[in-house]
Amino acid sequence: DAGVIQSPRHEVTEMGQEVTLRCKPISGHNSLFWYRQTMMRGLELLIYFNNNVPIDDSGMPEDRFSAKMPNASFSTLKIQPSEPRDSAVYFCASSLGYGGGSYNEQFFGPGTRLTVL
């Protein structure tokens, strides 16, 4: 398996532009997580899905952020409009999820480094 795939790996955009980050989880995994990593705040969970349904989006910073999972093999995290303070590394992770066993190891993608100028 190729692991969790994220695209793009790097994104540079200007303030006010729309940004879309993409994630393909490991086949057969039922849970998908979006994280944001910054020096100031560390690793923050933004939202997670189980069986394509958003379960907890309490970590989404504000209405400018939205996430979708239209099917089991694809998810997007959109920022509209983007601001310089959104600059961070965004990780997607997947796990077997509910019913997956005694624990649920999360497998992380390589991350997308977002820079908003």
Partner 1 sequence: AQTVTQSQPEMSVQEAETVTLSCTYDTSESNYYLFWYKQPPSRQMILVIRQEAYKQQNATENRFSVNFQKAAKSFSLKISDSQLGDTAMYFCAFEDSGTYKYIFGTGTRLKVLA
List of residues contacting partner 1 (CB under 8 A): 31, 33, 42-43, 45, 48, 50, 55-56, 89, 91, 93, 95, 97-98, 102-108, 110-111
Query: Closest distance between partner 1 and the C-beta of residue 20, in Å?
Result: 20
Whichever of 55 and 76 has its CB closer to partner 1, that residue is 55
Query: Closest distance between partner 1 and the C-beta of residue 31, in Å?
Result: 6
Please state the three-class secondary structure of the chain as a single string: CCCCEEECCEEEECCCCCEEEEEECCCCCCEEEEEEEECCCEEEEEEEEECCEEEECCCCCCCCEEEEEEECCEEEEEECCCCHHHCEEEEEEEECCCCCCCCCCCEECCCEEEEEC
Whichever of 81 and 87 has its CB closer to partner 1, that residue is 87
Query: Closest distance between partner 1 and the C-beta of residue 74, in Å?
Result: 20
